Chain A
């Protein structure tokens, strides 16, 4: 069953002097429970596509359907984890996690129960009354993930969420995300420019081209979890996808140098 379908989606950004075709005729269907990574260099439109699914910036043409219903605005059925964390600095950890539930009008007692449980799941219990300024990047991203799990979005959209973290913290959070994904059966759309990260996480990798963003390769990844980044299959795919991505990266670099 098509859970998310992206039908002939194009996006043009119109600037003062020039317009940029960020996405061109994207067709992609995602099934319930899939973990799809959008992979490509900067400027390939992967974040643009994610924002379109989130409803922040709708496509210029084409449509995006979630369970057959057209996406027209942001909403809690498609929770987003931003690269910049975007947890609210004026709320404590517990308050951040509770916010979405309070909006929904969930009773205080139930909110408290869910918050306690989620803080446990994401190992945040000790930090309950801390403000984000006192947390490390990894901790902040845990709060952001907990905040989404709280509202129980069936779809999680993640825009390079671990991009700013150190390698070890990133690995820990990747493992926790995989655990959460497998326990919850959520559908995840995850943007990254790291080939290794996409291979470690995704059940399917969509490689995108540099400007205009199109789908270059739609690759199922059938290695069992947990995956071994040093394994043969892992590295075979890494080499294969690496060539695809690097070809696009070259175009990006050329453009950069021209400016």
Chain B
């Protein structure tokens, strides 16, 4: 079926039924992609985009995780922080673009700020929920075995909350990936998002689509990687039996 579609698409283009600007043919896209790859520019763009995703994600999640653990564990900290978070959370990272450019100028800093913002909230919310939902029987059992606060946190609360946290990480990476493309269209001059926008200036539809497909493939790869990580970290988890 997909092959058939591809052949149909190619045929329509070759017959000159649509202009190559509206819809370039698959072969044109592949050729353009090859050219892009061979010029070395594709690698720079992919590395640029991925670097921002990884950097921004690590900052966002790295801040969200400890905060979430504290907020989940202490009702006082929760009461204190929750109102601010409830107001900030619904603001899409995109809406932060103007302020982030004012604060951080152009280039990587505002992009990384936006990405970390996108990753921050999903990880935070899920970490809080994960800690709050730890079954009290495990807390009692570990108290009974003589566990102090530190050990209980590290060896009971954290692993018990992992399924929630990983779900948050997954959403966070997804958001980071969306935000990186958008932020590259605005503040940076390399990366897949930038390249797509640049191609638009020249009406290089084949390059636009090649860029889109690259983004799709990268997203897929990240998802697969997350899946592996999930399966490994949650190998003890009942829900993963299949």
State the A residues within 8 Å of B (CB).
54, 56, 73-76, 78-80, 82, 84, 86-92, 99-100, 103-104, 131-133, 147, 151
Contact = CB atoms under 8 A, between A and B. Distances in A.
Interface stretch (B2-10, B142-150, B189-197, B200-208): B142-150
A103 B138 contact: no
Nearest to A131: B236
What band does the interface of chain B fall in when counting residues whose beta carbon is under 8 Å from A?
Answer: 20 to 34
A104 B148 CA distance: 10
A84 B159 CA distance: 19
B95 interface: no
Given A86-B138, A88-B138, A75 B236 contact: no
5 residue pairs, one from A and one from B, having the closest CB atoms:
A76-B146, A100-B145, A90-B159, A131-B236, A86-B141
Nearest to B239: A133
Given A82-B137, A133-B236, A103 B146 contact: yes
B178 interface: no
B140 A84 contact: no
A133 B143 contact: no
Nearest to A73: B143
B137 A86 contact: yes
Contact of B140 (A56, A147, A151): A56
Contacts of A88: 138, 141-142, 156, 159-160
Contacts of A104: 146
Contact of A132 (B141, B145, B148, B236): B236
A82 B135 CA distance: 13
Contacts of A91: 236
A78 B160 CA distance: 24
A89 B236 contact: yes
Contacts of B14: none
A131 B141 contact: no
Interface of B: 137-138, 140-148, 151, 155-156, 159-160, 162, 235-238, 241
Nearest to B240: A133
Contact of B145 (A73, A103, A131): A103
A89 B144 contact: no
A65 B60 CA distance: 51
B150 to A, nearest CB: 10
Interface of B is mostly: helix
B144 A76 contact: yes
A82 B236 contact: no
A73 B146 CA distance: 10
Contact of B144 (A75, A90, A133): A75
B146 A82 contact: no
A104 B151 CA distance: 11
B153 to A, nearest CB: 13
Nearest to B141: A86
Nearest to B238: A133
Nearest to A51: B140
Contacts of B146: 75-76, 100, 103-104, 151
Given A84-B137, A131-B236, A99 B144 contact: no
B241 A133 contact: yes
B155 A99 contact: yes
A151 B143 CA distance: 13
B230 to A, nearest CB: 14
A80 B137 CA distance: 11
A99 B140 CA distance: 14
A104 B146 CA distance: 8
A61 B235 CA distance: 46
Contacts of B140: 56, 74, 80, 82, 86
A224 B236 CA distance: 43
Which of B140, B236, B241 has most A Cβ within 10 Å?
B236
Nearest to A87: B141
A89 B137 contact: no
A145 to B, nearest CB: 13
A89 B147 contact: no
Contacts of A99: 142, 145, 155
B236 A147 contact: no
A64 to B, nearest CB: 15
B137 A90 contact: no
Contacts of A100: 145-146
25 contacts: A54-B144, A56-B143, A74-B143, A74-B144, A75-B144, A75-B146, A76-B144, A76-B145, A78-B144, A80-B144, A82-B141, A88-B142, A90-B160, A90-B162, A90-B236, A90-B237, A92-B236, A99-B145, A99-B155, A103-B145, A103-B146, A103-B148, A103-B151, A131-B236, A133-B241
